[in-house]
């Protein structure tokens, strides 16, 4: 069994809501909401983002996924600020930062890329 299997993994469920009609108000534009569920108080996450403008991926790890996503979306991160907006496509949670960092490193490797392709994540 792989070392990372003690982490919890989800393919992100993205819910879309749109309000129809021939002339909906501007406030009724479609929006995407991501629901994140965590089982432990302090968890570390390894995540994958997809740029909606370029289609490229970003791999990262954090201890607060919601805050980190907000930082990427707002352009406060040097590595992602010119390629947004971003879509969260996958994440896994771990009990320790070391496990999350190890998994992020795996995702960035050729073997990790192959695994992500085989699982149809990217």
Tell me the pLDDT tens digit for each residue of 69-99: 999 999 888 888 888 899 999 999 999 999 9
Name residue, tokens 């992602």. 80
Tell how many helices (H) and how many strands (E) occur in the chain.
3, 6
Is the pTM here over 0.85, yes or no? no
Nearest in space to 113 (alpha carbons), one of 79, 86, 84, 90: 90
Within the chain, which residues score under 70 in pLDDT?
1-41
CB neighbour list of residue 55: distance below 8 Å, 6 or more residues apart: none
Taking the C-alpha atoms of residue 6 and residue 76, their distance in angstroms, rounded to an integer, is: 32
């Amino acid at each position: 069994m792989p070392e990372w299997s003690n982490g919890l993994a989800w393919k992100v469920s993205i819910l879309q809501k749109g309000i129809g009609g021939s002339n909906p108000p501007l406030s009724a534009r479609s929006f995407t909401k991501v629901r994140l569920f965590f089982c432990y108080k302090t968890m570390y996450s390894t995540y994958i983002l997809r740029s909606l403008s370029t289609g490229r991926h970003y791999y990262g790890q954090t201890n607060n996924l919601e805050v980190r996503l907000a930082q990427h979306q707002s352009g406060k991160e040097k590595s992602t600020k010119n390629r947004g907006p971003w879509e969260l496509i996958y994440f896994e949670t771990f009990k320790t930062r070391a496990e999350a960092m190890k998994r992020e490193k795996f995702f960035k490797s050729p073997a990790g890329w192959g695994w992500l392709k085989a699982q149809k994540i990217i």
